[in-house]
Every structure is written in C-alpha cells, then in structure tokens.
Structure 1
C-alpha cells in the first residue's frame, strides 16, 4: 500500500509546530433563530464511539459546554459500543426505524461502506447551503491532503476529526524488574523476547495488543512485515509475510503464555493495573494511561520488523452529517463549527491523544503549543506519522462481514488453531464475499 501523502506533509508541519494561529470558528449564528420568538431549541443527535477511557469524558464535556453556550441547539450525545463497526450496525437499524441521527463518527476503514449504504451531505455543500458567507471554511482551516482522507468519488463523505497511530506503552518499572532495557524493544522479534522474559522473571504478562471490534492493530503487525490486507481489490493477507507475523502473535499468546488475549478495555486496564509490561495501542489512549498509571510509564515508537518499512494504519475517524431536515442541517453545522474551533480541537487532543486535523491548532496560544511541549508521550506518534498508510476499507456491502471474519480469524488463531490454514480459509471466504 502507498504511504498517504497528507501524513508526510502533516508530520513535518506538526513536528515543527510551525502552523499559523487562528480563532474560534463558531459564532452561534448558523443554526438560525429569531430572538423575537420563544422557540424550543433544535435537538440533534451526535453518535460517537468514545468510551470513558478513550475520549468519552471529553465528548461529554464538549457537548455540555456547547449546549450551555447558546439556546438555539440542544445536542444529545449517544455512545455506540463495539467501535466503528458497532456504530454502522446501529445506523443500519436507525435507518430501518426512520430515526437517523444528525452527525456520526465514521472510522476510516468504514468510509466506503458508509458512503455506499447511507445518505449524507458533503460538508462543503452543507456550508454553502446553510452559511454561504463561510463557504471558504475548509480551504482556510484544513490542508488539502487531510481533507482528501475523507474523499470518495469526488465528494467529501465527512470532515476529518481524529488522526491516530499505534504506539508501544511501557511499564518501565516492570521492565527494570525483569532486567530489561527500560527503553523497550525496537523490533517485533525483540518484543517477543522481552515479553517472555517479563513473564519468566516477574510472573506478570509481558504484552498486550489491542483487540477492539476491528483489525486496526493487527494490520500494523502484518503490513509492517510486508503483507497487504488487500491488493487490487482482493484479500491477500494470508501471504508468507502475513502468516509469519500472525504466528509470532500466536506464539506469544499460546506457546509462551506471555501475552494477553482479552477485550480491549480489559487489556489496557491490566496494563494500568501494573500486570502487563507493554501494550500496543492507539495514541488516543495516552490520557487514560498517563493519568491512571501509578508506575513509571512512557510511550515509544511502534516496533518494526528488522530491515522492513514501518507501515501503520491511520486510525481515528471523520464526522459525517446524516441530517435530512433543513433546520437540523443548520443546527448540525453550528455544532460542527464549535467542535472544530481551535479551543475545542485542543481540548479533544488533550483529552485523548488524537492529532488534530485542523492546520492551526498546534501553534495557537489557545491551542496545543504549550501542551505539546509538556506532554512528551505525544512525540512518538508525531515522529512515526510518515510511516502511516490507509486503514484498509473492504469495498461494497461486504465491508462489515469481511471485518467480522478477520476478528473471527484472530480469535481462532489465538485459541491455537493452525495459523496458515486459518488465514488462508478466511482469505478465501472474504474474496468470495467481494466477488
């Protein structure tokens, strides 16, 4: 897979913190109201996937602050479990019951599936429709390459909201107790050895790789070894490189018993509780891990495979507008302007670890300038952004089912089934789905 060009551009600008400052984009006017009338606020629903341990508290604060800042719009936030796949399934049900929300988080891996199965409005068209005097909004505040991440067939499906990549968090105290370098491993082979040593020397687990309801983290493991999840529209992850990568993962879980196989929240909590030496998960877990760990914790860049190019899928999401009612469209745009203001973007990054998509937040005095200088755990994610690739999106209506088959494959392999056979069978099943 090709490296995404916008990430190269953003990495350079973010690391230099050389972006121009700009003020709050929301003025509270675009929702439209007549002060001479006593009207009820327009109620809109915002669907997100942020549990309390990954930005949920920040979502709630932003929504509460927005609702308190004006009287025209009332936002109701709704959390959707099972991450982006779960949200897509809930959205399907909402369409069937004619109760569609107004703005939804869409993970990058589900961009094609969402665009092909649901009604939405291109955000640039939305601005022209409800606030034409602000029609240059996206040209002013977003790099072209960042907006391209949300593009499909010449239209923008949504507005980029979150950018992330996986980093390796370390319990330095546990590494030192096991007699290991507290700076951690640099390759996946070294990581396997570190994990076994931690288990042998301390009795605690050495490693956890995040296991949400998607294959984001395992894509990083496989593709950094030279495998491709999809090539020319066909699933190709069961290559020799893919099998080698998954075999290493199985060996840690099944043979060495040095790695945990648990749902995401439980796995991260085990690390926070001091029972795991290393965890490979999104930089968006930085605030949760940094705030709640009572040991010497740090984050380092993702391990690579020796002699091979690091490839990390771009995580995070865009916000897509699903409002159909004209009044709600205007209200939704007013809320989006608030979410994408410098101040709100800064709060979002501080509360999660996601890299902001707007191009003036890092350098703004009321943005992230001081925060990035003080929070060095953000540095690995910024440094390795030039190794990011697109999060694989399975085309057509097969998207959700294909993703589920990858999760089923993971569970079978980590329960001890033959790695190569299981991967080849799953690959064949997915290719039949996409025919």
Structure 2
C-alpha cells in the first residue's frame, strides 16, 4: 500500500475538523470513551460566571501519576486551609489513564461527575470531541491566572481554536536511567550514551562484567505502557517516525531500521529485554543496567534503588542526536456536565495547583516537570539535583507524531506491533507494513471524512 499524501493541517485545527462529524470509533479495547459527535455545543456556549458562587465541595479525579497520592493530598489540604469557600476531595479514579477514561465516560451516562479530571496526552481531545470538557479561558481570566508564566510548550499542548481546554499538570519526558555502579564495573563512562549505537557497543561489556543478579544490560519499557511514546525516540534518531504529519511512515526504511535495531538487541545480541510491567522497577531492583522511563519515575527510582542512579538525555541515532525526545503526561480539565458553581470551584483549585509553589512541590515529590517558569526549584534541585537533567531536556523536545496522538486508537495498534517484534521474532518489515495499513485505514475511516 502506498503512502497517502494527506492535506497539510495545523495540529491545533485538526480537532475542530474531527469534531464536525466523526462517527463512533471503536476504542473499547483501550478502555476509553467513544468519540461520537461532538462539541459544537461546547464551542458555541458562552461561559459566563458572573454572579456565580463556587460550590462548597467538589471532587478531583486522579490516577496519582508518578506515585503522587501523598503530595496530591498535601496540596489539597493546603488549598482547603487557604480559603473557606471550597473543599476538595481526592478520588482515585483508576490505576492508569485508560481506567480513568472509562470511569469518566461511564459517569457521563448518569453517574456522578468530578469537577476536576486528569487528562492524558492521548485522551484529552476525545473529551473535547464528545463535548465533555469546557474551555478554560474565561475562568482563567476571571481568576487572574498568569497564563504567560506557564511553560509555553506544555500549555500549547491543550490549545486549539484559540481556546485552552486543560492546564498542564503531571508533564514528563522520557529519561535515560542507568545504574552507575554497573557502568563503573564495566569500565564505561558515567553518562548516557550519545547514540543507541554507542550503547550497543557498551552493552556486551555490561553483560560480561560479572555483575551479580544482572539479567540484561537494557530493558525496553513495558509495551502496554506507551510503547508508541518511548519508541518515537528510536524512530526519530534514525530519521523515521510513526508518521510525518498525516502521512504514515511506519514502514519507511528508516523506521524499519530503527525497530530492527531494537529487535536485534533482544533476539540477536541478547543483551536487551522487555519489561513485563515496570522497567524502572526492574532497574531499581538491579536486574538491568539501563532503561528509558518517564521523568515522573525519577523520585520513585531514587527512593527504591540501592545504588547510585544516573540519568541523561535520550540517545539519538545515526541520522539525528538532537530533538529526539517527546513530551507526554497529563493535564487537568473541567467537565461540561457539572454545575457552574462546581466549575468555578474547580477553576479555583486549578489555579492553586498551578501556582509556582504548588508545581515546585509536585515536581519535588514526583520528578514531573515544573509547569511554571517562575517555580523556584532551588530547594528541589539541592535535594534532587538529577531533576535538572529532566528540566534541561525540555529545551530539546519534539512534538509527538500525529499518528500516535491524533488518530483515535492508534496507540493501541502501535503497542500491538511492538509486541509482535520485541516479544517474539516477527518480521519487522512485515509487521511495520501491516501497521501502516492499519493506521491508514483508521485515518481514512475516522479522520479524513472530517477534513475540510
């Protein structure tokens, strides 16, 4: 199947096109909401909160990303004690983004909705398409939120049609984590490799260093946990990608070469494995020497590891060593199906959670990025200096491939393909060509009919 040349489209305008007539997309396997037609009503509604009194009690639904339940409770207690109008209750709404999506969708059909809900990078626009969240601009202006102080790239991830549909919260990049003791034992430099090919030269030294308990030199992240996110790094380093804007490039020579390198590391060279659940936990246990995991795992790794932990920028590849790192994570939004009183109370809470002091505290507890540029990270960096590497890497991040974040259900198909070639020796070219066909069909069915 040939690549389909698709019309150029600004990523911020795509969603409004998709909202015009998208049929229901089969997402049950992902456990998320349908994308039945949308949000014309939400877009046309003028949200006027003049004379509204905030609700006395609201719920915040979270999955506690980055083991953040304790710091979320701490911040909520501070918010509740900082004023007398609103009290927030924290609700565990699932173990991951898919579970909270299902719970939120179920609540749309007659259950109790939260006033604040966690929105992941690949799920939030579906809530917009369903008309399930409100634009925040009027509320943020009314509460005099300093929107310009948010990190621009993170804030922009929730914008289109000149509206703000969420605010950044638990935002992250992948980091290269390594066991400094293992690297020292193998005679390796105390740094992350510049390229994956360089690590391919280091890996046999790790395997042959006689390190007790070592199973593999490198552990690929669990494929069900965002293979499409982390593998973009390998693809970009080789000059490939899941897509080039709307042209699917999963089976390009560059993309195939990148994934072939990953498969060879597992089956041919036998110095890499694939985590069954949590690669950062495998690293902390000393079973592997290196992995790639979210910055949100940093604090947990530092607490669990009984060795010196090293972190660095993601390695590049033979074509590029710059801008090979994606951003990801979650933001906070406000449902359209709750009262204006609850929406106003929710916005007050969003303002508090985004204050520089709050985001610095959240970052210190989790390793997620401080979303405000004015956040004072001095104390945080003094206690956890490795967080600076994650913050510095924000300057060399790259927007995610359209195919992963804008084609509903594509992330699941990417994960299936990754499993077919990294947990079994499937033919990489065949599987990537098959993926391309699947993604193109999904585009033709669920996206193309809605493009002007």
Partner of 1:317: 330
Partner of 2:426: 417
Shift of 1:240: 1.3
Partner of 2:267: 254
- Aligned mate of 1:174, from 157, 163, 182: 182
Q: Are the equivalent residues in 1 in contact too, given 2:283–2:290 (CA < 8 A)?
A: yes
Residues 1:121 and 2:134 are matched in the alignment: yes
Q: Map residues 339-418 of structure 1 onto 2, 5 A cutoff.
A: 339-361=353-375, 367-394=376-403, 398-399=407-408, 401-414=409-422, 415-418=424-427
Residues 1:49 and 2:60 are matched in the alignment: no
Which consecutive aligned stretches of 4+ in structure 1 deviate over 6 angstroms post-superposition?
none
Give the whole-Å Cα distance in 1 for the aligned partners of 2:149 and 2:362: 17
Q: Map residues 185-196 of structure 1 onto 2, 5 A cutoff.
A: 185-196=193-204
Partner of 2:295: 283
Partner of 1:24: none
Q: CA RMSD in A?
A: 2.8
Partner of 2:45: none
Residues 1:199 and 2:212 are matched in the alignment: no
Give the whole-Å Cα distance in 1 for the aligned partners of 2:385 and 2:151: 25
Give the whole-Å Cα distance in 2 for the aligned partners of 1:113 and 1:356: 26
Give the whole-Å Cα distance in 2 for the aligned partners of 1:260 and 1:56: 30
Change (3 A) 1:68 1:394: farther
- 5+ residue gaps, structure 1: 5-29, 34-40, 362-366
Q: Map residues 228-247 of structure 1 onto 2, 5 A cutoff.
A: 228-247=241-260
- Aligned mate of 1:210, from 203, 221, 239: 221
Shift of 1:168: 1.1
Q: Map residues 284-299 of structure 1 onto 2, 5 A cutoff.
A: 284-299=296-311
Partner of 1:330: 344
Shift of 1:71: 4.8
- 5+ residue gaps, structure 2: 1-7, 12-50, 445-452
Shift of 1:81: 4.5
Give the whole-Å Cα distance in 1 for the aligned partners of 2:236 and 2:230: 10
Question: Residue deviations 1:7-66, cap 9 Å, x none?
Answer: xxxxxxxxxxxxxxxxxxxxxxx9947xxxxxxx73322222335x54333223323443
Shift of 1:388: 0.8
Shift of 1:69: 4.6
Partner of 1:183: 191
Give the whole-Å Cα distance in 2 for the aligned partners of 1:404 and 1:272: 27
Q: Are the equivalent residues in 1 in contact too, given 2:242–2:403 (CA < 8 A)?
A: no
Query: Normalising to structure 1: TM-score of the pair?
Result: 0.80
Q: Are the equivalent residues in 2 in contact too, given 1:124–1:138 (CA < 8 A)?
A: no
Change (3 A) 1:397 1:31: same
SS of residue paired to 1:170 = strand
Partner of 2:24: none
Change (3 A) 1:396 1:302: closer
Question: Residue deviations 1:347-395, cap 9 Å, x none?
Answer: 111011222222311xxxxx32232255321232233323211133549
Q: Are the equivalent residues in 2 in contact too, given 1:220–1:312 (CA < 8 A)?
A: yes
Question: Residue deviations 1:240-297, cap 9 Å, x none?
Answer: 11111111211222333322312443x2112111111012112221111112211121
Give the whole-Å Cα distance in 1 for the aligned partners of 2:174 and 2:98: 19
Partner of 1:11: none
Greater helix content:
1
Partner of 2:105: 92
Greater mean alpha carbon deviation, residues 195-204 or residues 291-300: 195-204
Give the whole-Å Cα distance in 1 for the aligned partners of 2:162 and 2:247: 23
Q: Are the equivalent residues in 2 in contact too, given 1:160–1:318 (CA < 8 A)?
A: yes
Give the whole-Å Cα distance in 2 for the aligned partners of 1:395 and 1:177: 39
Q: Are the equivalent residues in 2 in contact too, given 1:238–1:424 (CA < 8 A)?
A: yes
Partner of 1:427: 436
Give the whole-Å Cα distance in 2 for the aligned partners of 1:233 and 1:163: 25
Q: Are the equivalent residues in 1 in contact too, given 2:313–2:393 (CA < 8 A)?
A: yes
Give the whole-Å Cα distance in 2 for the aligned partners of 1:396 and 1:222: 16
Partner of 1:7: none
Partner of 1:17: none
